[in-house]
Structure 1
Amino acid sequence: MVLVISQETFNNAVLENIEDLGLSPEDAVKDAILQFESQGVDLSSILKELPTYSESIKEHVVQLTELNKSKSDPKRVIEKLEAIKTECDKGIEYKVLIGKCGAYSVILDTLSNYNDDNVRMNCLKSLISLMSKQPDLLDDRGVEIIVSYLGKDTDIETKRLTLKWAKECCIMHELNRQKIFNAEILEKLKEFLNESTAILRETLAVCRALALDDDVRVEFGKAHEHSKIIANETLSTIIRLLSRFQQDEQLINDLMITLCVILVRAEFCKEVVDAGGLEIIRDVMQTFQSNEKINRQCFKLLKALAGHDECKIRIIKNQFAPVITTALDLNKGNVPTLSAGLGCVAALSLRSPENSKEFFETGIPEVIVNIMKMHPREKVIHKSASWTIRNMVSRNKSQSKAFLELGVEELLQTSLKNFKEIEYDIKAALRDLGCNVQLKEEWTGRGGALTTGFSKHED
């Protein structure tokens, strides 16, 4: 169990080191850190500075409060907002301390008190910095402001910053996501899909954030439900945007990431394919052949579409096998892209000997083996390669010879020694290649306790 302490407890320990032990201020801080870390205390959210520095940070919030009360010159307010943002940008421990000092409420008060464009922009920037990785601060008042600032009468920059703020509020916080979604933000987001590219990118980011399932404090979230609703309301528009921006490196990447998130039902996959999405993806991959990031998202999107059996067939019929093989070969230095690409091939080859044959004819066995040789210590590569090999040869045994002639058995046996965590995946590939391998038979079917045996073949 992780132990936590308050900022006050840490500050008191530092003061005791100075007053009782006579340590210098710097040594007192270092000693306090060592004391707490040796006890297993998590200090990630603790400001590890002298207590006097902590007080100076608190003073920024106090001064902003006083400026609000006296309706001071906007320039002075902006200076104080910039000071708070500067402190927040230093790290999570600074954000936590400033948040505990009441900065969130004071900044919202500032938004209400000043009808000044520059003040508003600086308030939003400060909120983004304050609440990045600290979304717990959001309350109903904040949700109301987010929705109101996304109205038709708001300027573009305010909308853009508000969308960034909304996104930060959604990350790692299921309750915030539900509050913001229930405030009918989707109606605003649908309108913004036809806005300028700057607004469009932030809109797509909020759509993805609303569909996250990353809050470990919540057993069951609404990620799937949100994704389904977002897809129903925006999918046709996003597909049109794919065609419109297929030459725009940043936007095409954002659009494909968003599609991967919201394609949670088979009918959505079919809608993308029926609308000509495959032709666009193929053109994008050919245009950006050596772009690791874009190819990675294309691989992920194709894998998502392959979840629909009809789409899986149509992907290969659209001549994707040579395109995917070429992309893997050209990006073989980037591990995340290779992992996504191999996973894509595995998904397209699963229970599909016809698709496997198409890949085989592009010379992909040699590409796969070369990738494994280039990355001998990358577990994720060898796991994905094992899946791919298994799916390709399991219903096309004639392909095993080509893989074996390329030395894949030796590579897999070496992987078996290096990566015990993926033993099953590697052994399954060896088995379907026809190699001699021992597989555990966890259940013999004889009743009683589990027993372990060995077998050359396993279903």
Structure 2
Amino acid sequence: MALRRITQETFDAAVRENVDEFEMDPDEALREAVEQFQSQGVDLSCIVKAVPAATSDDKHQEQTHEILQALESLSVAQDSPDSTKAAADIKCFTEQCLLGFAQRYLAAQKGAYPVILSYCQKSMGEREATFAALSALSALTDGQPDLLDADGKRFLLDALEQHQDDSSVTRAAISAVRHACLKHEQNRQDLVKAGALPLLTSAVKRHSGCAEVVKEASAALRIMTFDDDVRVTFGHAHEHAKMIVLQHNGLKVLIDSAKAHNDNITVLSELCATLSRLAVRNEFCQDICDLGGLKLMMTLLAGSYESAELVRQVLSAIRAVAGNDDVKDAVVKAGGVQLIVIAMNRHMIISAVCEQGCACLSVLALRKPNNCKVIMEEGGALAAVQAMKSHPGVVNVQKQACMLLRNLVSHQPNYSQPILEMGVEALILQALRAHRDCGDAAKAALRDLGCQVELRELWTGKRGGITN
């Protein structure tokens, strides 16, 4: 059932009524209004849950929210010759937007985008003003990519071109690009056609020593490969990934950047996540390996296994590049199986690490009997069983563990008995009962392990008569 929605004005009126009619203090009035609407099934995610403040010391002055006061002040200041006042106002507006989505949404509803865009266009020739404008645009469009229009896209690309040597302006512009492209396929396609990809990759190369720029640009490149806009049937995710790799040398750019930031876990996580999105073709997986990407991943897994987030991203990247059969063997030869099992055991309580660990081992085992032998010897099956026990309610952990167990025995049936002795049959049956999405993987695992399983034939391919 969809939640009901109300306007900010309706919510504010309820708060005022609690103060005026029921003589509540402001904080109590606010709490009461929130509880009242939530009990009625109202979605308050887009509502600023604050008591409007007076715009001056005059108690009779109309009350409004701080974000709208900042917007009003900025609207007046942008036509003023006093640049200092405008700079202070746009900084205040940006800070208000950063407080939460509700503030950004309210500002957009009250016409903030044309005001900010106008400020952006007037600021282009001056570095500080451009940085402030980009910061405001980035903050406003976070979660609201539909706001960006053709003029806004042009401004972002112009800012990236004209301020290529300025790391702060570049980072702010890329942040705005990232927000504009998340869950918005048309913005992605428009920006790519207009030349965003070479600007993003060149930003990584030009500012390779600046962690913030590398992180932002890597995230923006990754978002260009997303297929996350539910309004679009078919996106250009695959085409964009190929363009980044083939036309803009993206793999080498990212791997070289990772080598330059080998002590920055946040940057390395972003870079690994992006590399996994670019491993869309067999030869790309091999290229990542040849460029030193696999060696880098092994080093990170061995040296930074205490960081669960980095481990998760590295495992995801290994899973992606191991789609190439030669890379599978390279991972195993490099001691990857042992490192994956160690990482899983170290972070067994974290479902995302268990999911990626099982998925990695499953890919390494696929069509590779020799790899299956290594996985069994290094305790990979036992780690998967422990993951199933630790996360019975997480469908993806259960599914990936079932797929791993199935891959281990599909070409090596002699492993069935040792795995069954770990108690997996009961765990798989439990997953089968608890998670509908786990059905196919669980039944395939039971079948290949030699357990009794009901395989229902959904269609025989035979024609039947039509009866009235």
TM-score range for the pair, normalised by the shorter chain length: 0.7 to 0.9
Deviates more, 1:240-249 or 1:262-271: 240-249
Q: Deviations over 1:32-51 (max 9, x none)?
A: 77887687664432445667
Show the 5 A alignment for 1:210-289.
Answer: 210-232=224-246, 233=248, 234-289=250-305
Question: Is the contact made by 1:171 and 1:214 (CA closer than 8 Å) also made in structure 2?
Answer: yes
Aligned equivalents of 1:360 and 1:215: distance in 2? 41
Mark the CA change 1:83 to 1:399 in structure 2 (over 3 Å): closer, same or farther. Answer: same
Tell me which of 210, 221, 229 is aligned to 1:197: 210
**Structure 1 residue 346, shift from structure 2 partner:** 1.0
**Equivalent-residue separation in structure 1 for 2:12 and 2:210 (angstroms):** 50
Following superposition, the deviation at residue 319 of structure 1 comes to 3.2
- Within a 5 Å distance, the mapping from 1:111-190 to structure 2 comes to 111-113=120-122, 117-151=127-161, 153=163, 155-190=166-201
Q: Which moved more, 1:365-374 or 1:351-360?
A: 365-374
1:209 equivalent to 2:223? Answer yes
Find the aligned partners of 1:438 and 1:373 in 2 and give their Cα distance. Answer: 23
Q: Distance in 1 between matches of 2:436 and 2:174?
A: 44
SS at match of 1:307: coil
Residue 10 of structure 1 contacts residue 32 of structure 1 at CA under 8 Å; is this kept in 2?
no
**Cα distance change of structure 1 residues 186 and 431 upon mapping to structure 2, 3 Å threshold:** same
Deviations 1:1-58 (A, max 9, x none): 8577673773697499689x95668798788778876876644324456675546643
CA contact (8 A) 1:132 1:168 kept: yes
Q: Contact 2:167–2:210 (CA<8 Å) still a contact in 1?
A: no
How many pairs are equivalent? 448
- Residue 405 and residue 254 in structure 1: after superposition, are their counterparts in 2 closer, same or farther (change >3 A)? same
Q: Confirm or deny that 1:428 pairs with 2:444.
A: yes
Report whether the alignment pairs 1:303 with 2:313: no
Q: Distance in 2 between matches of 1:396 and 1:264?
A: 29
- Match of residue 45 from structure 1: 46
What is the letter of the counterpart of residue 197 of structure 1?
Answer: C
Provide the rounded CA distance (Å) in 2 between the counterparts of 1:56 and 1:186.
37
Quick one: which amino acid aligns to residue 338 of structure 1? Answer: C
Aligned residues: percent identity?
31
> How many Å separate the matches in 2 of 1:261 and 1:47?
36
**Whole-angstrom distance in 1 between the partners of 2:65 and 2:215:** 39
Q: Report the Cα offset of residue 259 of structure 1.
A: 0.6
Deviation at 1:316, TM superposition (A): 2.4
| RMSD over equivalenced CA pairs, Å | 3.1
SS at match of 1:126: helix
- Cα offset for 1:103? 1.9
Further displaced range: 221-230 or 138-147: 138-147
Q: Judge which range, 319-328 or 386-395, deviates more.
A: 319-328
Residues 1:317 and 2:327 aligned together: no
Deviates further, 21-30 or 54-63: 21-30
1:382-397 equivalent positions in 2, closer than 5 A: 382-397=398-413
Q: State the partner residue of 2:70.
A: 60
Distance 1:94 1:6 in 2: 15
Q: Is the 8 A contact 1:68 1:113 kept in 2?
A: no
How far is 1:324 from its partner? Answer: 2.0
Are the structure 2 counterparts of residues 352 and 118 from structure 1 closer, same or farther at C-alpha, using a change threshold of 3 Å?
Answer: same
Equivalents in 2 of 1:235, 1:28: separation in Å?
55
Alpha-carbon separation, structure 1, partners of 2:350 and 2:386:
13
1:383/1:425 contact within 8 Å kept: yes
| The 10-residue stretch of structure 1 (312-321 or 299-308) with the greater mean CA deviation from structure 2 | 312-321
Using the TM superposition, give the Cα deviation of residue 403 of structure 1 relative to its aligned residue in structure 2, in angstroms: 0.9
TM-score of the two chains, using structure 2 as the length reference: 0.85
Distance 2:440 2:201 in 1: 45
Tell me the alpha carbon deviations over residues 332-391 of structure 1, each in whole angstroms, 9 at most, x when there is no partner: 222101100101111121222222122112232222222323333333322211111011
Amino acid at match of 2:221: C
Distance 1:284 1:79, change over 3 A: same
What's the TM-score, normalizing by structure 1?
A: 0.86
Matched with 1:87 is: 96
Asked if the contact 1:365–1:402 (Cα under 8 Å) also holds between the matched residues in 2, the reply is no
SS at match of 2:353: helix
- Aligned equivalents of 1:165 and 1:422: distance in 2? 39
8 Å Cα contact 2:344-2:383 kept in structure 1: yes
Paired residue for 1:10?
10
* Alpha-carbon distance in structure 2 between the residues aligned to 1:5 and 1:329: 45
TM-superposed deviation, 1:242 = 3.9
Query: How far apart, CA to CA, are the structure 1 residues paired with 2:12 and 2:381?
Result: 63
Name which of structure 1's ranges 256-265 and 81-90 shifts more when overlaid on structure 2.
Answer: 81-90
Q: 2:353 aligns with which of 323, 337, 340?
A: 337
Q: Map residues 372-383 of structure 1 onto 2, 5 A cutoff.
A: 372-383=388-399
**Residues in 1 aligned to 2:255 and 2:281: alpha-carbon distance in whole angstroms:** 16
Give the Cα separation in 2 of the matches to 1:41 and 1:104. Answer: 27
For structure 2, which runs of at least 5 residues remain unmatched after alignment? Answer: 53-61
Q: Measure, in 1, the Cα distance between the counterparts of 2:407 and 2:272.
A: 26
Letter in 2 for 1:311: V
Does the CA contact (< 8 Å) of 2:218 and 2:254 recur in 1?
no
Partner of 2:306, secondary structure, is coil
Q: For residues 68 and 109 of structure 1, what CA distance do their matches in structure 2 show?
A: 8
